[in-house]
Chain A
Amino acid sequence: MLNVEGVSKYYGQRQAALSNISFRIDKGEMVFLTGASGAGKSTLLRLLYLEEKPSAGRILLDRFDLSRISKRKIPFLRRHVGVIFQDFRLIPERTAAENVALTLEVLGKSGREIRRKTDEALNLVGLLGKRNNYPYQLSGGEAQRVSVARAVVNEPLVLLADEPTGNLDEQNSRELLELLSEINMRGATTIIATHQVQLTAKYAKRTLNLVSGILEKETR
């Protein structure tokens, strides 16, 4: 489903942020991406959600070749990729429901469908009751769950999370990983970048470990 073949990323002439990375992820898998700060986790995810292009190598997502996509087509591909960030990235002037709806609005869905799917997604993350709260009226854990709802509301091919628990306390972090795991069990292919290895151990999932831009041999 996701096929990364010999991908490298250079910023300028200095050391490679990623060098010759290759791996495959099957449909429905849940994978942790680990590594120290500066190892290249965010860089790899940025390549996957088309924020940047690889300097070398190929990335195949389903039937699309991400390394060869034209700039005009990027928005259309992004609609198949859901992303979650450490800092939630909710639009402050939109309510929880309006933030989730954005994903569907850009697709030009009808108002009725938007409402139905938005409520479904908010229900999934347990926040239907706070659908009309603005981001500043949500706790960190709740805000992150809204961003999860926004990422999955259109059923993307792959769900990417970059340090999703980075701004959350222990309890909220556990709950969030639980939620992502549940979403994964419903069939979403999921990649979670984190350096909080103590939280991921419980799930005994496949782990890709980056060391200074190089992918360690997989142990599992």
Chain B
Amino acid sequence: MRSFGRIFVEIWRSVRFELLSTLGSLLTIFLATLLPGLFWIASKNLTQTEAELKSGLTMDVFLREELTVEQITRLTKEFMGLGGVTGVTYVSKEDALNRMMQKFGPKMLAGLEDENPLPASFILSVDKSVFTQGVAEALSKKISRYPEVDDIVFAGDILNRLGNILRTTEILGFALSVMVAFAALFIIANTVRVAISDRRKTVEIMQLVGATRGYILTPFVMLGGMLGFSGAILSALALNWITGYVSNHLIKLVFLESHEIFTFIMSGLCLGMVGAFIATRKYLKI
């Protein structure tokens, strides 16, 4: 087997006279891999956020008035008996005000101490079962029958809808990524086609001195692989920068983990090699 050095020399001879178009296709591959990367990071972050929201989800049960200790004990017990409820916390009017103070600072709420407008409430922790169709509705219906209860606020419905949107986005992103990958495949195949036709004479001469098909096509396939590989690396660097920028200026985002980056770059490499191989099948008529 010949050394890697000789293969790279051969690749260099292929691209030397087509530097501009090679750089052009590198740029296109970079852009083409950027889109799937963005979708990947977005979906990763959304999924994580959704999971966090779901696990910390509560149902707020607002009460008509402050309850007595006996009432609190009785209702706590009864709420705990309802399916899906994993914890019950009573928040008095004073507690509610304190929480508000902590959240927004005392300045903004100055004056409220005299006449506290906040209602007392129960905060119910719920488990994942409330995300099954109809369960949350049944639960809030039961609770609203209590005469002490004024209003119920549950963010789960919105979250459910958010989840649906997320799934749709993921499917759309995946479909779009597949299309873009095909485009990248085509671009690489085309670059390699140009390289092959530029070197038609060289290929003929190589055949004449007894080069096998494998020997002749290896540099072309490696050229495709290198294009895909470097395009994906550039794209990973850009994605890392974008994620950092958004984290610093908008919202905290997580980047791909190292094994995911590896998968991402290797996908670029494979894409490039497959594209180039297709080109050699079609255009390297030997």
Interface bits A94-138 vs B (CB < 8 Å: 1, else 0): 100000001101111001000000000000000000000000000
A36 sits at the interface (CB 8 A) = no
Interface residues of B in 1-40 (CB under 8 A from A): 1-3, 6, 13, 16
The answer to whether B205 touches A102, judged by C-beta atoms less than 8 angstroms apart, is yes
Residues of chain A with a CB closer than 8 A to B110's CB: none
Assembled-state Cα–Cα distance A56/B96 (Å): 102
A166 sits at the interface (CB 8 A) = no
Assembled-state Cα–Cα distance A103/B210 (Å): 7
The answer to whether A49 touches B208, judged by C-beta atoms less than 8 angstroms apart, is yes
B51 sits at the interface (CB 8 A) = no
Given contacts A91-B202, A93-B16, A93-B202, contact A102 B209 (CB under 8 A): yes
B80 sits at the interface (CB 8 A) = no
The answer to whether B211 touches A89, judged by C-beta atoms less than 8 angstroms apart, is no
Given contacts A75-B211, A93-B13, A93-B16, contact A108 B205 (CB under 8 A): no
The answer to whether A75 touches B210, judged by C-beta atoms less than 8 angstroms apart, is yes
The answer to whether A89 touches B6, judged by C-beta atoms less than 8 angstroms apart, is no
How many B residues have CB within 8 A of the partner chain?
Answer: 19
CB distance from A18 to the nearest CB of B (A): 21
Q: Which of A60-68, A76-84, A188-196 contacts B (4 or more CB under 8 A)?
A: A76-84
CB distance from B195 to the nearest CB of A (A): 12
- B198's nearest neighbour on chain A, judged by CB, is A93
Interface centre among A49, A83, A102 (most CB of B within 10 A): A102
A41 sits at the interface (CB 8 A) = no
Residues of chain A with a CB closer than 8 A to B205's CB: 89-91, 102
The answer to whether B210 touches A78, judged by C-beta atoms less than 8 angstroms apart, is yes
The answer to whether A103 touches B209, judged by C-beta atoms less than 8 angstroms apart, is yes
Assembled-state Cα–Cα distance A92/B204 (Å): 13
Given contacts A106-B215, A108-B2, contact A89 B210 (CB under 8 A): no
Interface range for A: 20 to 34
B169 sits at the interface (CB 8 A) = no
The answer to whether B2 touches A102, judged by C-beta atoms less than 8 angstroms apart, is no
Residues of chain B with a CB closer than 8 A to A49's CB: 208
B103 sits at the interface (CB 8 A) = no
Residues of chain B with a CB closer than 8 A to A9's CB: none
Assembled-state Cα–Cα distance A84/B13 (Å): 24
- B214's nearest neighbour on chain A, judged by CB, is A75
Residues of chain B with a CB closer than 8 A to A105's CB: 2, 6
B98 sits at the interface (CB 8 A) = no
B144 sits at the interface (CB 8 A) = no
Given contacts A91-B202, A93-B16, A93-B202, contact A83 B2 (CB under 8 A): no
B86 sits at the interface (CB 8 A) = no
Pick the contact of B209: A92, A93, A108, A150 (CB < 8 A).
Answer: A150
The answer to whether B209 touches A79, judged by C-beta atoms less than 8 angstroms apart, is yes
The answer to whether B212 touches A89, judged by C-beta atoms less than 8 angstroms apart, is no
CB distance from A28 to the nearest CB of B (A): 22
CB distance from A110 to the nearest CB of B (A): 9
Pick the contact of B210: A91, A94, A107 (CB < 8 A).
Answer: A107
Give 25 A-B contacts (CB < 8 Å), ordered by A residue.
A75-B212, A75-B215, A76-B212, A78-B208, A78-B209, A78-B210, A83-B208, A89-B204, A90-B205, A91-B202, A93-B13, A93-B16, A94-B13, A102-B205, A102-B211, A103-B209, A103-B210, A105-B6, A106-B206, A106-B209, A106-B210, A106-B212, A108-B1, A111-B3, A150-B209
